A and B are shown apart, each in its own frame.
Chain A
Amino acid sequence: MSTLIEAKGLSKSYGNHQALKSVDFTVERGRIVGLVGPNGAGKTTILKAILGLTSYQGDLTVLGMNPERQRHQIMQKVSFIADVAVLPRWLKVSDALEFVTDVHPNFKLDRAKYFLSKTNIPMGAKVKELSKGMVAQLHLALVMSIEAELLVLDEPTLGLDILFRKEFYNQLLTEFFNEGRSILVTTHQIEEIENLLTDLIFIRDGNIVLDATMEEVASDYIEVMVSKDDAEKAEALNPVMQRDVFGRRVYLYQGVSRELLEPLGELHSPSVADLFVAKMKEGK
């Protein structure tokens, strides 16, 4: 397995505000990494640094190249979707295909035509005549037809309805993702993608607060539903977080053995959303 992205001491400041405070992380080939954090935590800054869209301090290599200096070489092997609204409104669908074919050495026109044939998008239409969902389908069709090693998605399904969102990720998994490729995705709708992620990175105030595989998360974090009578026993084991659900209490533990927890009640793996809330509140 090879490393696609390696960041060491990656930092970025906007004036006095430090958006990234010397973060380290790697993205290996064949992984789907969710980069999760509240607004302003530094997610987009990380993505921009990877894509060579912003300057930064520290070491960052993407596919062995320097994104600040070799942006357009990197983009031959990296694709990204930033938001559904970025396709220019005046662009005609057939012209979009022609343009990407001409400028992208790794674009497969036949694939794009195949993807589009499964949609209702007319070749002669301009982007401004398409619905939001269709624009996203078009963008996805273009991007999935690029033989990229890394796909970066920044809130790719923002503003789309649930059917499109499900279909979007479904298509990515079945038609694009394989062992030779990685996907790095940020989204607020984390519950919709947690089943496809292989890795999780949480970021808060410019720091990485969690960086683990989903297996590690599952073995490290355990949720126990405890009746109120056992609350004292449960709190003695130092839960990371607690919340009330229908008159019972749910405790989240990190690194506490299952043997100790089993007597308290039923054990679950926490959802990524619950883990996220816990991690964002930790120490506050």
Chain B
Amino acid sequence: MNSFKALLKREYWESKGSMFYAPASIAAFFAIVMIVGAITGPTVVEHNGHSVNVLEQLPNVVDEFNNIDEEKRDKAVQMGLYAPRVMFGFVMFVISLFYCLGSLYDERKDKSILFWKSLPVSDTATVLSKFVAVILLIPALYFGVVAIFQVFLLLFGTVVAWFGGSSGVTIWASSNLFGVLFNSLFSLIVASLWMAPLWAWLMLASSWAKKVAFLWGTLPIFLIAIAEGWIFHSSNFIEMVGKRIVLGFTTMNSDMHYLVGAEMFEESFVSHWYEVFAKGEFWVGIVVAAVFLVGAIYTRRFRDES
């Protein structure tokens, strides 16, 4: 267990930039833009041909906000808190993609695999640690950044409320902060788990590729799609891949979908992240991922680098 933790730490050391610094800088960038915008932004704006003094209007806006229907206010605040996760979730998806492609390829490219293999760590533990990194570690780190950003949004809203002459308590009362944090964490993890077959496939390609792991990861998918279209005149395979990705995003943001209560995404799938566990496709995905992982372990174990 100690050595598995060490393997995860190793993944973090190697990919600190994409796992933590990338989302952290995005969050910092938006926070700074919001703060600077609030301080230096124009105090007078044109609205329907009239000049409106923002600071003078602020109490009215805050007042209006405090007096709207509680349910509506809850929704508005919580949607505001969930919204940044859409962006962080997308960044996480792209980062995970490249992480998997490099996971078993980079160590062969720089020959450090010979150092890792000189230590008493099995190939199974190594490959699984990289899989756990993409399923748990990356979502957890992105959640950490999202959570801090969500708290920042509440603080920002509170300060705005102060300028509007209110205590800002209503924002916190409507936020359901712990629920939002809880859902944000598990939505990110479960969405990554839903995409497990994709990650595992990319890891297999990564363990196999002699050069350009990116092509090994993507080309077979397109070749199968083309072959299917040519032979069967159908496009089931590429639709399945596309659906896997799209439903990954809808799962990640299912609680927003639930709040709005409308067809926010064309493909409605689940209205809570935990409902994914009831879907057969989820478990099929896990089994497919397991097969790819066994392939990756086997390839790393017996691949002869010479």
Contact = CB atoms under 8 A, between A and B. Distances in A.
Given A44-B306, A103-B3, A75 B120 contact: yes
A51 B111 contact: no
Contact of A102 (B3, B13, B304): B3
A60 to B, nearest CB: 15
Q: Chain B interface residue count: which class?
A: 20 to 34
> Which DSSP category, helix, strand, loop or mixed, fits chain A's interface?
mixed
B6 A103 contact: yes
B239 interface: no
A73 B119 CA distance: 10
B14 A90 contact: yes
B110 interface: yes
Given A44-B306, A88-B14, A102-B5, A75 B111 contact: no
B148 interface: no
Nearest to A77: B120
A51 B117 contact: yes
A53 B115 contact: no
B12 to A, nearest CB: 10
B13 A95 contact: yes
Contacts of B115: 82, 86-88, 139
> Which DSSP category, helix, strand, loop or mixed, fits chain B's interface?
helix
Contacts of A103: 2-3, 6-7, 119-121
Nearest to B10: A99
Most buried by A among B3, B5, B112, B115: B115
A187 to B, nearest CB: 17
A81 B123 CA distance: 19
Contacts of A87: 112, 115
Given A55-B302, A90-B13, A102 B120 contact: no
A100 interface: yes
Contacts of B111: 82-83, 85-86
Contacts of A44: 306
Contacts of A95: 9-10, 13
B122 interface: yes
Interface string A178-209: 00000000000000000000000000000000
Interface of A: 14, 44, 48, 51, 53-55, 71-73, 75-76, 79-83, 85-92, 95, 98-100, 102-105, 139, 143
